[in-house]
Chains A and B, each alone.
Chain A
Amino acid sequence: MNTTPLLEIEHLTITFPTGSGPVDVVRDLSAVLDANRTLGVVGESGSGKSMTSLAIMGLLPSTARVSGSIRLNGQELVGKTDREFRTIRGEKVAMVFQDPLSSLNPYYTVGLQIEEAYRSHRGGSRRAARAVVLDALERVRIKDAARRIDHYPHQFSGGMRQRIMIAMALCLEPELLIADEPTTALDVTVQAQILDLLAELQQETGSGMIFITHDLAVVSQVAEDILVMKDGDVVERGTAEQIFSNPQAAYTRSLLDALPRIDDPFEELRGTAR
C-alpha cells in the first residue's frame, strides 16, 4: 500500500483583509484523508469549513492569504496559480455544492453542463462525451436519462438537480470528492436518498470524500473521521465513534445535545418550544 495519503493538510491558515484589519477564517488546520475514506467537517456557518474546501480547489477570492500546506497525493497545492489549478479542479478534485438550483446555469441543458466538464479535461468529440454523460446520469439514477439529458435545470426537482451535480462531479472519476452541505437544501426523504447515493458511488470508485455539514446527524451516517470547527479553529477531532460516545470539547457536546434522540420522551415537547 502507498504510504502517501490522498490528502494531507498541515497548519492551514486562511486570512482575509477586512476594514477592521486581517481576519483569520481558518487557523492552523491539519487533517489527513485516505482514499476510500470520508472525513466529516462539522461547524456552523462562519466556522471556516467552506473556506477550507475552497482552498483545496484553489477557488478562494484573490484577496485571501493562505499559509501552511495542502498536499494531494504528495503534490503541494498551496501557491499554485489559477492556471495550474485547472488541471486539478474537476479532474482530481470535484465538488458538489449546497444549492443545486443556483449552482447550475439556467441557460444551458444539464447535458451540456456535464459534457463541458468532461471535454475540457479529456477532449474528444461531443458524441463520445455525450455517451459518458448519459452513463453518468444513469449512475446517479436519473430515470429516462436519454431524454432528460436535453432538459434544463429548472425542469428537475431539487433532489434530481443534486443528482445531476453529483453526475457532473463523478464523470471525470476524481480521486477526491468534496461535498459542501449537499443535502441542506433538500427534503428529509430526499436527503437520505442522496446520502445513500454518495456512499454507494464512493464504494464503486474508491475515491476519498470530504463531507461538510452543520448537521451532526447527517455526518454520523457518512463519515468515519470527524473534525469539529468553530470560528476558524478545530475544536475536536476523532473517529465518528469517539466523537459520539465521548465528546471532549464543550462545543461538540452542545451540538450533540441539540440532536433529537429517539429515546427521549420530551423530544416533541422541546421541539415545539424551540
Chain B
Amino acid sequence: MSTAPSQLAIEVDTVGASPGGGAPTPARRVISTLRRSPAVVLSVAYIVAVVLLAALAPVLASITGWGPYTYDPEAINADLGGIPIGPLGGISAEHWFGVEPQNGRDIFARIAQGAQVSLLIAVSATLVTTVVGVVLGMVAGFYGGWADQVISRVMDFLMAFPALIFMIALLSALPAGNRPALLVIVLSIFGWPYVARVIRGQTMSLKNREFVEAARASGAGNWRIVSREVLPNLRGTIIVLATLAVPGYIGTEAGLSFLGVGVMPPTPSWGQMIASAVGWYTVDPMFFLIPGTFLFLTVLSFTVFGDHLQKALDAGDAA
C-alpha cells in the first residue's frame, strides 16, 4: 500500500469516507488498531505476565517455598563440581526452572526477583529521561535563543560521549551504595538527550502552526500555550519514545550487569544471572538460556509494541 503515490491514499480516503457514524476518538482508534494485531496482543500479554511475575515475586517464593537467596545443597551434586542434579539444569516440581550450579539457588525465584530489579530500573530511567527530555526539549524548542543554545550544546556533548565505556568507568568508580539507583541516574544522564532532540524539533515546528498563533493572538500566555496547545500535540510522540526507551534501558542495564558494574550479587538481575552462567555454559546451558530468553522476550515485546504503536499513531496523523 505504501508504494502507491500519496495522492491515491488521499483520494481513496475521501471517496471511501463513511458518512455519519461518529468518528472514534484517536485514542480509541489506535487501541482498536493495535488489538487487531496478534503480535501486539501476544507482546502485551507477555509484558503483563512479566510485570505480574515481578510484582508477585515474594508471593511466588512463598508458594514454591524457595526464595531468591536460599541455598539448596540437596539439588546439586557436590561430587561433580556442584552441577544441578537431574536433566535440564535440575528442573523439577520443586524447582520449576532448575537451580544454579554450586549453590543450588532456585532459578525461578531469582528470575522473578530479577524481573523486579530490571523492570524497576528500566521504568524509572524511562520516567526520568522522559520528564527531563520533554521539559528541556520543549524549553529549547519553544524559547529558542540562548536557552536553546545551551541545551543543544549540552545534548551534542552528551551524545558525542562514548556512553557505554563512560557509564562503565563511572559505575566502577562509584562506591557500592544503592546500585539500582546509581544505574537509573547514570542511564538517565546519557538517555535524556535522545528524547529532548526529538521533542525540540517537534516543538519548533508546532510553535509556528496556526492553532498556536491563534492562541497567541487571543492573548494566551507562554505557559498556557505550552500546556494547552504544544504538549497535547506531543503526546503521541512522547508515548512512543517512552515505550521504545524501556527495552533500550532493559538491554543496557543487563549489559552493564553482565559486565559486572551494574546490579551487584547477590541481588539478581537477568544480565547479572547470564554473567554468572558464563563459566557454566558448557555443562549447564539452562543456566544462561532461561534468563537470556526472559530478557530477549521482554525486549522483543516492548519493541514490537512500540513499533506498532508508532505505526498506528502515524497512520492517524496522515488521515
Which positions in A face B, CB cutoff 8 Å?
Answer: 16, 18-20, 23, 25, 45-46, 48, 50-51, 54, 59, 61, 63, 231-232
- Given that A20-B16, A23-B15 are known contacts, is A46 also in contact with B10, CB under 8 Å in the complex? yes
Which B residues touch A16, using CB under 8 A?
8, 12
A156 CB to nearest chain B CB (Å):
23
- Given that A18-B16, A20-B16 are known contacts, is A48 also in contact with B11, CB under 8 Å in the complex? yes
* Identity of the chain B residue whose Cβ is nearest the Cβ of A60 in the assembled complex: B8
Contact B18 A25 (CB under 8 A): no
* Identity of the chain A residue whose Cβ is nearest the Cβ of B3 in the assembled complex: A61
Contact A61 B5 (CB under 8 A): yes
Which B residues touch A232, using CB under 8 A?
15
Contact A45 B16 (CB under 8 A): no
Contact A61 B8 (CB under 8 A): yes
A248 CB to nearest chain B CB (Å):
24
Contact A25 B3 (CB under 8 A): no
* Identity of the chain B residue whose Cβ is nearest the Cβ of A24 in the assembled complex: B15
Contact B14 A45 (CB under 8 A): yes
Which B residues touch A59, using CB under 8 A?
5
* Identity of the chain A residue whose Cβ is nearest the Cβ of B18 in the assembled complex: A20
Known: A25-B11, A46-B14, A46-B15. 8 other contacts (CB 8 A): A45-B10, A45-B11, A45-B14, A46-B11, A50-B7, A50-B11, A51-B11, A54-B5
Residue B4 is within 8 A (CB to CB) of chain A in the complex? yes
Q: What is the CA–CA distance of A74 and B5 in the complex, to the nearest angstrom?
A: 29
Contact A61 B4 (CB under 8 A): yes
Q: Out of B3, B7, B16, which one reaches A23, CB within 8 Å? A: B16
Count CB-based A-B contacts (< 8 Å).
34
Which A residues touch B14, using CB under 8 A?
45-46
Which A residues touch B3, using CB under 8 A?
61
Q: What is the CA–CA distance of A54 and B12 in the complex, to the nearest angstrom?
A: 14
Which B residues touch A231, using CB under 8 A?
15
Which B residues touch A50, using CB under 8 A?
7, 11
Q: What is the CA–CA distance of A232 and B11 in the complex, to the nearest angstrom?
A: 10
* Identity of the chain A residue whose Cβ is nearest the Cβ of B14 in the assembled complex: A46
A87 CB to nearest chain B CB (Å):
22
15 of the cross-chain contacts (CB-CB < 8 Å) are A16-B12, A18-B16, A23-B16, A25-B11, A25-B12, A25-B15, A45-B14, A46-B10, A46-B11, A50-B11, A51-B11, A54-B5, A61-B4, A63-B4, A231-B15
Which A residues touch B8, using CB under 8 A?
16, 51, 61
Which A residues touch B12, using CB under 8 A?
16, 18, 23, 25
B85 CB to nearest chain A CB (Å):
58
Q: What is the CA–CA distance of A51 and B11 in the complex, to the nearest angstrom?
A: 9
Chain B residues 1 to 49 lying within 8 A of chain A, measured CB to CB, are 3-5, 7-8, 10-12, 14-16, 18
Q: What is the CA–CA distance of A45 and B11 in the complex, to the nearest angstrom?
A: 7
* Identity of the chain A residue whose Cβ is nearest the Cβ of B13 in the assembled complex: A46
B312 CB to nearest chain A CB (Å):
15
A243 CB to nearest chain B CB (Å):
24
Which B residues touch A46, using CB under 8 A?
10-11, 14-15
